[in-house]
Amino acid sequence: MKVGVTKEIYPGECRVAATPETARRLIDKLGFEVVVETGAGDAASFHDDSYQDAGCVIADDAADVWNDADILLKVRSPQEQEVEYLREGQVLICFLAPAQNETLLEKIAGRNATALAVEAVPRISRAQKLDALSSMANIAGYRAVVEAAGLFGRFFTGQITAAGKVPPAKVLVIGAGVAGLAAIGTARGLGAVVRAFDVRPEVADQVKSMGAEFLMLEFEGDEQGGTSGGYAKTMSKEFIDAEMALFAAQAKEVDIIITTALIPGKPAPKLITREMLRSMRRGSVVVDLAAEQGGNCEATVPDKVVQYEGVHVVGYRDLTSRLAHTSSQLYGTNLYHLLDEMGGAEKFDVDMEDDVVRSATVVKDGHVTWPPPPVSVSAAPKEKVVESAAPSAVVEKKIGLFDVSLMVVAALLLVGVAMTRDQGFITDFTVFLLSCLIGWQVIWNVTASLHAPLMSVTNAISGIIIVGGMIQVGAADPIAAWLGALAIFVATLNIAGGFLITHRMLGLFRK
């Protein structure tokens, strides 16, 4: 089977659906033949020579690729002239935005072709490696901070110099999905003080683990913001009012706001009003990652940076394309895994019984199959089911021959000690047994988080030595007294050093 890769004709799009590296993997590991339009990767710094070295065939124009390939890999949705190239039985894989492009799906169906929308891949564990939407969101979040840094007039990190003090930038990230978490990590890496908000309470731990402050909404009610698909959902009016009040208060304090709030299939919610922009300090920056679907900010202008009351509002819709080399590599890898999931060249099949393939397939052999059946991937906690406790079985411990033998040996040992009639020896032996018991009970029962198992054993032995040394310190023989004191000193050092080393070991696992 042949896989075709064409040059993107959408204005300003620099990405390419396969890089020389991913094309080589398609050829060597999955057995495909790869045909690439000449100049397809130039905008992403992948030249024709690199594709030829990887084993690809270079076609002179897009028509040759469309006519020759069985599977077409693209980034953007096909334009009008590209749809005309589709033929019966051909498979198209790209971003299609099926919820907003019903007309496009009908046109593809009219060509009796099959189409897979990569953004429709469900967010389940086994599909993470082919989740192109998350890959692109990760890059967009990173690039959003870079764009903000270029427009912001100060350092992100705070500095104290001989010339004066520079406070750290304060960044608010609205939406803690993949893009939001990438923005948080990048801003934290640059030294900014980062705050984040999301309607899904289950992401709070992720935000905190990255060193940011999670803003809790003071709202009376038990409203959950997540859906079974792992995305945010539309909230009630009361919740939205409380949310907007929180944003209004934060706008007066922060220097940079990055918005990532999107609900699949719906226009982006307006979260940053013009009044909030007027309350921000001059020179502040708002980066709207939802500009593609209308924007989260009322002043957003798609594909432009505008100033509103001294605040920069970034509405770029091509943030991933501004890192075309990395974006293409990640996207190409996602497509490689998708084709691997579909069987490779020898067993290629659009299996509608496979949850991943079924969710991504929006047109199958001329029939529109969107929307797919839901696949539950929610991370929200499930309701606890109280089960009656089953009666525990009582296992009667049986005394075996080995246990009886130990008891007999112990009894004979005690009788032998008593038969010596040496009062001093009997006293020392009794002290030894008591010191063993005390050392084991005292040291062994210390909280497990304070010591390692091996360290607890050595400390128990040291405890025995200390008890014995304390007895010998009071002996009449000066040599025995000095040896007892030395034993106490050495054993004490061992115990103190043991706890110190354990404390340092545990510190390696703390933030």
Distance CA(416)–CA(376), nearest Å, equals 72
AA identity, residue 45: S
The one catalytic residue among 45, 52, 79, 128: 128
Token pair recorded at residue 145? 């901070």
Element (H, E) at 105: helix 102-110
The one catalytic residue among 51, 77, 85, 131: 131
3-state per-residue secondary structure call for 145-184? HHHHHHHCCCCCCCEEECCEEECCCEEEEECCCHHHHHHH
Query: Is 123 one of the annotated active-site residues of the chain?
Result: yes
Distance CA(102)–CA(125), nearest Å, equals 29
Residue with tokens 């007309």: 103
The one catalytic residue among 50, 100, 188, 231: 231
Distance CA(271)–CA(248), nearest Å, equals 9
Token pair recorded at residue 176? 């803690």
CB 174 within 8 A of CB 258: yes
* Total residue count of the chain as it appears in this document: 511
Query: Strand, coil or helix: what is 75?
Result: coil
| 114-117 and 361-364 strand pairing | antiparallel
Phi/psi for 145 (5° steps) reads: -70, -35
Residue 313: strand pairing partners:
286, 306
Query: Is 231 one of the annotated active-site residues of the chain?
Result: yes
The one catalytic residue among 123, 195, 317, 358: 123
C-alpha distances in Å from residue 363, one per residue of 111, 324, 371, 492: 10, 28, 10, 76
Token pair recorded at residue 464? 């025995």
Beta-carbon contacts of residue 445 (< 8 Å; ≥ 6 apart): none
The one catalytic residue among 134, 284, 293, 328: 134
Element (H, E) at 212: none
Token pair recorded at residue 454? 């091996």
Query: Is 100 one of the annotated active-site residues of the chain?
Result: no
Token pair recorded at residue 207? 């935000």
Any idea what the Cα angle at residue 316 is, between residues 40 and 155, rounded to 5°? 115
Distance CA(455)–CA(404), nearest Å, equals 32
Distance CA(27)–CA(56), nearest Å, equals 8
* Catalytic positions: 123, 128, 131, 134, 231
